[in-house]
Amino acid sequence: MSETFLLAGNGSYGNKGCEAIVRGTAKIIRKYFKNPNFQCYSTFENEDFFRMQSLQETDKSVVHRQIHIPRKITSIAFRALDSFSPKIRKRYEYKEMIPTLDEARAVLSVGGDTYALDWGIPKLYTDLDDIVMEKNKPLIIWGASIGPFNKSPEYENYILDHLKKVDGLFVREPETIEYLEKKGFNENIYHVGDPAFVMDPSRPAEGLASTIEDDAIGINLSTLMARYVANGDKERWAEISAKLITRIHDTFERPIYLIPHVTRPVPTDNDHTFLKYVLSKIDINKEIYLIPPNLNAAESKWIIGKMNIFMGSRMHSNIAALSSCVPTLSLAYSIKAKGINADIFGSDNFCLQPEKITVELICNSIAELLEDETNIRKNLAREIPKVQERAFNAGKYLKNIVDGL
C-alpha cells in the first residue's frame, strides 16, 4: 500500500535548490517508508511554468500542485479580504491541498529558509501550518533554517509561540539550533542535514559533459546579491561581478565556468540572464564559459562536481559543491550559509558575509582554497558522510513521530 506525503511551501524547479530538496527528500523517505508518493504543493511563476514542470517531472511518484498567490488587481482585493477574514485567505492559498490532507501520512514544510524575515513576514507558511494543525495532521518543518526574528520583537513573540506547536523542527544547521534553544526550545528540535546533500548527480548530455576542462573554477553569482553588496544597484553589482570574474581568471589562469542555479522565468531573478549580461562586459577571448540554463538540479550538481574549486552565492549551488567534496567559497546573505559551513568545517572561514565581499578578499580566499585543496577535499570526504547521515536521520525521526501519533 502506498503512503502519501505532502511536500508544501517549496518554489518551482526554476530554482534548482527547490528541485534538489524534493529529490533528496524522496530518497530519504523511501529509506523508511514503503512505496511512498509525494504531492508537492509549490508556488509557480505562472501557469505555463507549472504545466511544463508537471509534464517534465521524471519521478512518477511526484505530483505537482499549486499554492495560489493572488497577483495584480486580484491581490488588492485579496489583501482587503484578509483584513476581516484570514480563514478565507488561507483556504484560497491552499485550496488544492485541503482535500488531500485526510489521506496524508504527514505534511512536510520544505521551503528551506522560508521561516525567516529575509523575504518578509512568512505568512504564507504559517498559514500552511495552521491549516495542517487544524486537521491534526503531523507537521514537520523539514530540513530548514529558521529565523532569527529579533528585528521584529512583536512578530518574534508570535512566531516562536507558533513554532512550539509544530510536531518537529528538523533543522539543518547549528546557528538555527542555537537561536531556538536560547528562546526556550528543546523538545521538538531535531538536528538533520539539508536533504539536497543526498541528491545523486546525473551526467548531462554527452555534448556538454565532454567539454568540461580540468582544473576549472566554478562560479555562481546571482542578481539577488546586489541587495547586499551594492545597495540594490544591479548595474553596479554586474560591474563588480565582471571585474571579479576577470580578476579570478587573470590571477589563477584557469578555465572558469559560470553556473546558473536559479533560472526562473523572471528576468530580475535569473542567474543565467544575469551571468550572460556580466559575460558581455568581459573580454570574450578569455576561457570563461556560461553553462546553459536548461539543466536540471542533478545535472547541475554533476557539472559543479567536476570543478576544482567552486564559489557560489546560491546556497544550494554550494551544497551541490560541498556534497561533491569540492572546496567551496560561500558568498552568504543569511544564517543558512554561515550555519551550514559551521556544520561541516566547524567555522565560517570560507563563508564571506556581504559587508566583507570585495574583489581582493575573494581572490585571497580562492588562493587559500587552491593552496590547501588536498586537505580540504580530505576533510570534506570525512565530514560530508556525517551530514548525509544526519539528512537520512530525518526519515527515521519522521517515522518515529508519525508512528507515535
The pLDDT tens digits of the residues spanning 237-255 come to 999 999 999 999 999 999 9
The stretch 370-375 carries a mean pLDDT of: 95
pLDDT at 216 over 50: yes
Q: How confident is the model at residue 256 (pLDDT cuts 50, 70, 90)?
A: very high
Helices (H), 33-71: 47-56
**pLDDT for res 85:** 61
Instruction: State the cell numbers at 387.
Output: 551530514
**pLDDT for res 88:** 78
**pLDDT for res 91:** 83
The proportion of the chain whose per-residue pLDDT surpasses 90, expressed as a percent, equals 75
Q: How confident is the model at residue 74 (pLDDT cuts 50, 70, 90)?
A: very low
Bridge partners, residue 64, by sequence: 40
pLDDT at 156 over 70: yes
Q: Which of 55-59, 67-71, 131-135, 142-146 has the least mean pLDDT?
A: 67-71
Q: How confident is the model at residue 82 (pLDDT cuts 50, 70, 90)?
A: low
Q: Residues 16, 324, 331, CA angle at the centre, nearest 5°?
A: 60
Q: How confident is the model at residue 360 (pLDDT cuts 50, 70, 90)?
A: very high
- What the chain holds in terms of domains, given with CATH numbers, is 3-199+387-404 (3.40.50.2000), 206-326+328-371 (3.40.50.2000)
pTM (predicted TM-score): 0.94
**pLDDT for res 13:** 97
pLDDT at 403 over 80: yes
